[in-house]
Amino acid sequence: AQSVTQPDIHITVSEGASLELRCNYSYGATPYLFWYVQSPGQGLQLLLKYFSGDTLVQGIKGFEAEFKRSQSSFNLRKPSVHWSDAAEYFCAGTTRGGSQGNLIFGKGTKLSVKP
């Protein structure tokens, strides 16, 4: 069955430290993968997406993610975290030709930033 898994429910990092949020997927075909961010009380905003080509994807707000087929992973990274990055982050995936409404979300990782 298709699935997206975020192993970490909550991560705390110090401001200025590097960040890596994990995402693993299970799809038969090459998936389209997304990272969304949700600030408190807000809707979701797209950070970046991958569907083909260069496996290192650059996004907004200084985020990047790397698609690793061998590890079925699409981890999100940022070299230096800012206090404003505190939010919940969702990995999501789908495949072309599948159920038309079927974007599957992970359960989310909540990021806290220590001053």
Give yes or no for residue 9 binding other proteins (CB under 8 A).
Answer: yes
Give yes or no for residue 94 binding other proteins (CB under 8 A).
Answer: yes
Distance CA 114, CA 23 (A): 23
Calculate ∠ Cα 61-48-53, nearest 5°. 130
DSSP type of residue 18: -
Give yes or no for residue 61 binding other proteins (CB under 8 A).
Answer: no
Give yes or no for residue 102 binding other proteins (CB under 8 A).
Answer: yes
Distance CA 102, CA 28 (A): 14
- Cβ nearer to other proteins, comparing 54 with 96: 96
> Which stretch, 16-24, 43-51, 57-65, 71-79, contacts other proteins (CB under 8 A)?
43-51
Distance CA 43, CA 40 (A): 8
- The candidate with the shortest Cα–Cα distance to 109, out of 16, 18, 3, 20, is 20
> Which stretch, 21-29, 64-72, 76-84, 100-108, contacts other proteins (CB under 8 A)?
100-108
Give yes or no for residue 96 binding other proteins (CB under 8 A).
Answer: yes
Give yes or no for residue 42 binding other proteins (CB under 8 A).
Answer: yes
